[in-house]
Chain A
Amino acid sequence: AQTVTQSQPEMSVQEAETVTLSCTYDTSESDYYLFWYKQPPSRQMILVIRQEAYKQQNATENRFSVNFQKAAKSFSLKISDSQLGDAAMYFCAYYCGSAGNMLTFGGGTRLMVKP
């Protein structure tokens, strides 16, 4: 079974600084997708960024970028120029269509942004 692990329960960053959230996963599949979701106190999960495993190029969305290391099964999220609105729970998630339709989430990292 696929597992997703986020080893940092909490992270803190100064406003305008850069922070990196870690995620590792376990799979025997070669073709899959990885996601980072943001969950603010409102509880609504918002997609931040996605990465297709067959693409070597790391995904980027404005201030958010990933470092995808397929061989190491690592998928970290870098947030540049952190803003107060970035404070939230961040969840890493894995999906593989050939191994069921399930989106498997990690345990989450709480990001605090200090003004």
Chain B
Amino acid sequence: EAGVAQSPRYKIIEKRQSVAFWCNPISGHATLYWYQQILGQGPKLLIQFQNNGVVDDSQLPKDRFSAERLKGVDSTLKIQPAKLEDSAVYLCASSLEPGLGGTDTQYFGPGTRLTVL
């Protein structure tokens, strides 16, 4: 079974530029998550999708971050314009069902390391 795919693995941009990250979840997984992991910290949830609808985006800085999952499969996270403090690893995860109440598990991708100069 293929895992969660993310691209690119690394990205370096200047502040005020735009950047986009792509995620393809495990086939059949209805729920998709984007996390931000700042160096030395644990991941923080940015947004959660159930199919193509948003379940939770309470911690997404909506003035500069946007995300979509148009066909309920792959997803794109965009930052426009980027700030220095956006330097982090952006992790995508997927699960069969929303939440973790049963035997379900969130499977993580390898992440994209973003450096904003």
Residues of A that sit less than 8 Å from B by CB: 4, 33, 35, 42-47, 50, 91, 93, 95, 97, 100-103, 105-108
- Contact residues in A for B110 (Cβ distance below 8 Å): 42-44
Smallest CB–CB gap between B41 and chain A, Å? 6
Task: Contacts A105-B42, A106-B42 given; indicate if A97 touches B109 (C-beta within 8 A).
Answer: no
The reply on B91 being an interface residue by CB < 8 A is yes
Contact A93 B42 (CB under 8 A): yes
Partner pick for A103 among B55, B89, B100, B113, CB 8 A cutoff: B100
- Contact residues in B for A105 (Cβ distance below 8 Å): 42-44
The count of residues in chain B whose C-beta lies closer than 8 Å to any C-beta of chain A is 27
Partner pick for A45 among B55, B91, B98, CB 8 A cutoff: B91
- Contact residues in A for B93 (Cβ distance below 8 Å): 45
Contact A44 B111 (CB under 8 A): yes
Contact B56 A103 (CB under 8 A): no
Question: Secondary structure of the A side of the interface?
Answer: strand
Contact B111 A43 (CB under 8 A): yes
Smallest CB–CB gap between B48 and chain A, Å? 6
A46 vs B48: C-alpha distance in the bound complex, in angstroms? 19
Contact A91 B42 (CB under 8 A): yes
The reply on B105 being an interface residue by CB < 8 A is yes
Smallest CB–CB gap between A17 and chain B, Å? 26
Smallest CB–CB gap between A111 and chain B, Å? 15
Contact B99 A101 (CB under 8 A): yes
The reply on B34 being an interface residue by CB < 8 A is no
